[in-house]
Amino acid sequence: MSYGVSAALQAAVFQQLSGDTRVNDLSGGAIYDAVPVGAVPQTYVALGPEEVRDASDRSGGGAVHRFTVSVVSEAAGFGAAKTLAGAVCDALDGAMPSLDRGCLVGLWFERASARRAGTGGAVRQIDLKFRARVEDD
């Protein structure tokens, strides 16, 4: 098993989202690898936690990455957040971006959870869970 493809996968996911016109339009271009300190836009997309397990076989090293992409919004109701979450899902589910290291075998949507967060539940957060299978060259 190798965790070595992780940075390349994260960069590819970030690039895939950043290059998607609909995700950019709906988020106002606020797509973060790390949410900045201080004031943030009312609505944004953030790459989140990741879990990785070995998926090596006779042909070589590989891993399954399960990662989260969060849509966070202070807009009233869940409508805007769900629309953006749908665009994120459309941009990633089944996408095959190239990696700087290794190769992506597949990228799939697994599940989502929507909840109220923040003081008084004023923030809406939708966590989208994806699974990626990678092989390390």
**Does 37 reside within a domain?**
yes
Condensed to tens digits (0 to 9), the pLDDT of residues 95-133 reads 999 999 999 999 999 999 999 988 788 899 999 999 999
Residue 26 lies in a domain: yes
- The number of folded domains in the chain is 1
Cα gap 81→38, rounded to integer Å: 21
Residue whose C-alpha is closest to residue 121's, from 73, 70, 51: 73
Domain hosting residue 34, numbered range:
6-135
* DSSP structure class, residue 57: B
User: Do the domain assignments include residue 1?
Assistant: no
pLDDT tens across 35-60, in order?
989 999 999 999 999 999 999 888 88
Residue 99: which CATH number? 3.30.2000.30
Q: Is 44 a domain residue? A: yes
Q: Is position 93 within any domain?
A: yes
Q: Give this prediction's pTM.
A: 0.93
Residue 42 lies in a domain: yes
